[in-house]
Amino acid sequence: MSVRVGILGATGAVGQRFIQLLDDHPTFDLAAVTASAESAGKTYREAAKWRVDTPIPDDVAGMEVVATDPGAVADADVDLLFSSLPSGVAAEVEPAFLEEGYVVSSNSSNDRMAEDVPLTIPEINPEHLGLIDVQRDERGWDGALVKNPNCSTITMVPTLAALDEFGLETVHVSTLQAVSGAGYSGVTSMEIIDNAIPHIGGEEEKMETESRKLLGAFDGGEVRLHDAEVTASCNRIPTLDGHLENVFAELDADPSREEIRAAMEGFESADLYSSPDQLIKVFGDDEPDRPQPRLDRTYAGGMGIVAGGVQHTAAGIKYNCLAHNTVRGAAGASLLNGELLVEEGYV
Ligand code: NAP
């Protein structure tokens, strides 16, 4: 089966990862790339300040970048759109594509917490895709909108999902986030070299709300948020890719460290092309200084989660976790949702 796809915002930090991940994809054929008015009409090679560690695929380099509106994309005859636009732009243009009947798998934060929009990680809550039927009824769209969570949320939530069998009660998380998470022109070198910035606008609230929706229960009509209290503190540091997070959790049960590691390592992955065989890898006591961004962000091609440092504390447990923010945390997450949409017959 072949599905023609397009990327909205294809020239940015996440858009470039989409291009890389779609190269040689067994199902998706890239047929359209869009960006801002300044890039429209240029070839992809001219428009993109390419920062990915593999060359631009030859068949993409010469593609014409078109404007981000349904009229400009119509000739490409695509079945599925991946969106990596700034959220303010996405909030305006995604509805226009949805009204035209497009299925959109989006990274942008607008509408992630909307009651009729599935916020989905295929290995964690694939059943939330059922919200699409509610969404179509309520909004009258022939298309469908599915969102993936923020990059810092997706790094932590698979480990929380694994811990939920022990009764997840409270979560405190402190992040060390890479500069690529702010987009190509997000943080200047003068701001971040020799520095750390203890604030990322809106990020803490996203972690605190999105994780409860992802872990929530879907009853066929709505998602009931998970009861756990989640508190986040988000920090930008001068790494390029890979968000590292220190998690402190309180659980109803009192599992041993071995039981915690086993729950994480045994957490089931999804049977989709881009899902890793083992979703969460956990370092043991013999490697207490792992995971690290430079060493571990490419685990499972950047689609896996890596954890370590599991310890008991006076109040519960603590551990560290890490994921590649523009792969697992962004383009790879949308791509995986696209694969789920195809698998479930929405495309
Ligand atoms: P970015 O590097 O700034 O790229 C933005 C893209 O949107 C570019 O292709 C840009 O085209 C296009 N664009 C900007 N303004 C536009 C407009 N008015 N009309 C049409 N296209 C426009 O941003 P990014 O880091 O890739 O992030 C994209 C989205 O993903 C954001 O919503 C972000 O919050 C989300 N996200 C990012 C990450 C991450 O790790 N970076 C993780 C999760 C989610 P030009 O090149 O022509 O300007």
pLDDT in tens, 147-186: 999 999 999 999 999 999 999 999 999 999 999 999 888 8
H-run or E-run covering 168: strand 168-176
Average pLDDT in the 231-236 region? 98
Burial class (CB in 10 A: 0-12, 13-18, 19+), 201: exposed
- pLDDT, tens digit, 9 for 90 and up, residues 47-100: 999 989 899 999 999 999 999 999 999 999 999 999 999 999 999 999 999 999
H-run or E-run covering 309: strand 305-312
What does DSSP say about strands 217-218 and 3-8: parallel, antiparallel, or unpaired?
Answer: unpaired
Strand order in the sheet with 168-176: 229-233, 168-176, 243-251, 317-323, 305-312, 280-282
Whether 151 is a known active-site residue: answer: yes
Proportion of the chain above pLDDT 90, given as a percent: 97
Cα(183)–Cα(15) distance, rounded to whole angstroms? 10
Average pLDDT in the 338-347 region? 97
Which pLDDT value is given to residue 185?
Answer: 85
Domain with CATH 3.30.360.10 in the chain: 151-324
The CATH class of the 151-324 domain is alpha beta
Which pLDDT value is given to residue 182?
Answer: 94
Taking the mean position of all CA atoms in its chain, how far away is CA 265? Answer: 20
Topology of domain 3-150+330-343 in CATH is: Rossmann fold (3.40.50)
Q: Is the minimum distance from the CB of 39 to ligand 1 under 6 angstroms? A: yes
Which pLDDT value is given to residue 36?
Answer: 98
Cα(200)–Cα(234) distance, rounded to whole angstroms? 6
- pLDDT, tens digit, 9 for 90 and up, residues 305-327: 999 999 999 999 999 999 999 99
> Cβ of 42: how many Cβ atoms within 10 Å?
14
Q: Is 102 helix (H, G, I), strand (E, B) or coil?
A: coil
Whether 243 is a known active-site residue: answer: yes
Q: Which of 201, 198, 179 is nearest to 189 (CA)?
A: 179
Which pLDDT value is given to residue 2?
Answer: 95
Structure tokens at 57: 């695929």
Cα(266)–Cα(281) distance, rounded to whole angstroms? 9
Cα(79)–Cα(280) distance, rounded to whole angstroms? 32
DSSP state letter for 63? P
φ and ψ of 267, to 5 deg:
-65, 130
Tell me the helix, strand and coil percentages in the chain, rounded to 5: 35, 25, 40
**From ligand 1's centre to the CA of 18, what distance in Å?**
12
pLDDT tier at 193, thresholds 50, 70, 90: very high
Q: Which atom of ligand 1 is nearest to the CA of 150?
A: 43
Q: Is the minimum distance from the CB of 183 to ligand 1 under 6 angstroms? A: yes
> Chain-wide mean pLDDT for the chain?
97
- pLDDT, tens digit, 9 for 90 and up, residues 247-276: 999 999 999 999 999 999 999 999 999 999
Which pLDDT value is given to residue 175?
Answer: 98
Residue 291, preceding bond cis, omega within 30 degrees? yes
**Do the beta carbons of residue 195 and residue 138 sit within 8 Å?**
no
**From ligand 1's centre to the CA of 90, what distance in Å?**
9
**From ligand 1's centre to the CA of 172, what distance in Å?**
29
Cα(82)–Cα(94) distance, rounded to whole angstroms? 10
Which pLDDT value is given to residue 325?
Answer: 97
Q: Is the minimum distance from the CB of 11 to ligand 1 under 6 angstroms? A: yes
Domain with CATH 3.40.50.720 in the chain: 3-150+330-343
φ and ψ of 218, to 5 deg:
-105, 125
